[in-house]
Homo-oligomer: A and B are copies of this chain.
Amino acid sequence: MEAIKDSVHDHIPVCDLARDLVDLPALQRLRHVKQLSTVRLVYPSANHTRFEHSLGVYHLAREACDSLGIEAHRAKAVRAAALLHDVGHGPYGHQTEGIIERRLGRHHDDVDDLLADGPIADVLESHGLDPGEVADLVAGEGKLGQLVAGELDVDRMDYLVRDAHHTGVPYGTIDHSRLLAALRFRDGELVLSSGNVHTAESTLVARALMNATVYRHHVSRIAGAMLERAGERLLDSTDLDAEAFARMTDDRLLGALRDCEATADTARRLERRDLYKRAVWTDLGSVPESVVTADHASVRAFERDIADAAGVAPEQVLVDTPGEPGMPESSTRVVVDGEVRRLADESPLVEGLRAAGRAQWRLGVYAPEERVPEVGAAAERVLGLDFDE
């Protein structure tokens, strides 16, 4: 069996199926999509790609299947799904998810169309696999789908450790070998074996701390918001097709932004890290419920209203309302005293983390540095922020 050297898992043996899949343009494309998009502007070493991450997930999927004793043909399907789980991502990954969902009505883990025919389907079929079955696994469906997308999936095990390795922030360094060894199926559900409440807690904590220091760092959020708005303006002001947009690489999107008059300034700013600054950065208590839960169209309307009130151009105001921090791992199931229990019922830490997540929530309004004073004042009025609360 051939092997690929990886900075995280060291030696990744590559089966024939994987070798054939890796050669496809759809997977080679992931070499040009960074795993952490704009995070590299805060942590300069974070230049790792979804390609190496996909190989890592493939590797952990094989180990998980071995550990669980999954039958050979099913295990092959799981490995294929693991390797392909990110082919549905647009340029800059999560940063363009919203655009793609709004314009194409599909989420990045909906890869039915991508796998239905064409070269990926050809390779899967030549190895005796059904593309539809693999697409279902990518979407987390069925018993084995939980390994690819779920609270205990190998995606998470890879990205936490990989992001820690490449940012230099140690918080993501979970004990993935222990997690893999603790996986069990109970009545079709993927659970952790007895004695692993702490193993589950540690994964939860790792993601919470990585959220706070890495994934939701304000500099990365600002650059991400700039990128998202520029992406929309690009689609609005050119004849670029949303499907073509979704298949771009990071570089091709940046090139397109540079070449389009409406987005050239943003492109230049992103390349030179000359970013907008925070005009507002405030917590849940100061923000009206209607703003917290505002949909995309309302947020755009807020931006226009703030720009009007501040007397600046519309593209100089960005309102960034994160959703409430999710905590999918809180429903992880762990065996305790012979019974399957939800982590949230077993560990008081889950409630603590949930509260910490709410405490860390921040609304951001961003503007060019020289426009910060007026945009801040206008945003306070338009959004009805109450800083005394």
Contact B32 A202 (CB under 8 A): no
Given A198-B209, A273-B28, A355-B349; A10-B168 close (CB under 8 Å): yes
- CA of A198 to CA of B214 in the docked complex: distance in angstroms? 11
- CA of A317 to CA of B181 in the docked complex: distance in angstroms? 34
Let me know if A213 is at the binding interface, CB within 8 A.
yes
Give every chain B residue within 8 A of A29 (Cβ-Cβ): 271
Given A6-B45, A255-B251; A175-B181 close (CB under 8 Å): no
Residue of B nearest to A252 (CB): B255
Contact A44 B352 (CB under 8 A): no
Let me know if A7 is at the binding interface, CB within 8 A.
yes
Contact A173 B173 (CB under 8 A): yes
- CA of A273 to CA of B29 in the docked complex: distance in angstroms? 10
Task: Return the contact of A353 from the options B40, B171, B271, B349 (Cβ within 8 A).
Answer: B349
Please indicate which of the listed interface residues A8, A28, A358 has the most CB atoms of chain B within 10 Å of its own CB: A28
Task: Return the contact of A31 from the options B40, B48, B175, B212 (Cβ within 8 A).
Answer: B40
Give every chain B residue within 8 A of A272 (Cβ-Cβ): 25, 28
Given A28-B273, A350-B352; A52-B44 close (CB under 8 Å): yes
Give every chain B residue within 8 A of A198 (Cβ-Cβ): 209, 212-213
Q: Would you give the 0/1 interface string for A158-198, flagging 1 where the beta carbon is closer than 8 Å to chain B?
A: 00000001111111011101100100000000000000001
Let me know if A260 is at the binding interface, CB within 8 A.
no
Let me know if A51 is at the binding interface, CB within 8 A.
yes
Let me know if A11 is at the binding interface, CB within 8 A.
yes
Given A167-B7, A205-B205; A32-B271 close (CB under 8 Å): yes
SS class, residues of chain A in contact with chain B: helix
Copies of chain A in the complex: 4
Give every chain B residue within 8 A of A316 (Cβ-Cβ): none
- CA of A204 to CA of B323 in the docked complex: distance in angstroms? 27
Give the distance to chain B from A233, nearest Cβ to Cβ, in Å. 20
Interface residues of A in 309-340 (CB under 8 A from B): none
Interface residues of A in 244-285 (CB under 8 A from B): 249, 251-252, 254-255, 271-273
Give the distance to chain B from A342, nearest Cβ to Cβ, in Å. 15
Contact B255 A181 (CB under 8 A): no
- CA of A51 to CA of B41 in the docked complex: distance in angstroms? 11
- CA of A23 to CA of B358 in the docked complex: distance in angstroms? 34
Give the distance to chain B from A338, nearest Cβ to Cβ, in Å. 15
Let me know if A359 is at the binding interface, CB within 8 A.
yes
Let me know if A55 is at the binding interface, CB within 8 A.
yes
Give every chain B residue within 8 A of A10 (Cβ-Cβ): 168, 177
Q: Which 5 A-B pairs have the closest CB atoms?
A: A352-B352, A348-B355, A11-B177, A7-B45, A251-B251
Instruction: Show the binding face of A for B, using Cβ within 8 Å.
Output: 3-8, 10-11, 13, 23, 25, 28-29, 31-32, 40, 43-49, 51-52, 55, 165-171, 173-175, 177-178, 181, 198, 201-202, 205, 209, 212-213, 249, 251-252, 254-255, 271-273, 347-353, 355-356, 358-359
Given contacts A5-B168, A47-B49, 16 further A-B contacts (CB under 8 A): A4-B44, A5-B43, A6-B44, A6-B45, A6-B168, A8-B45, A28-B271, A44-B49, A45-B48, A198-B209, A251-B254, A251-B255, A347-B359, A349-B349, A352-B352, A352-B356
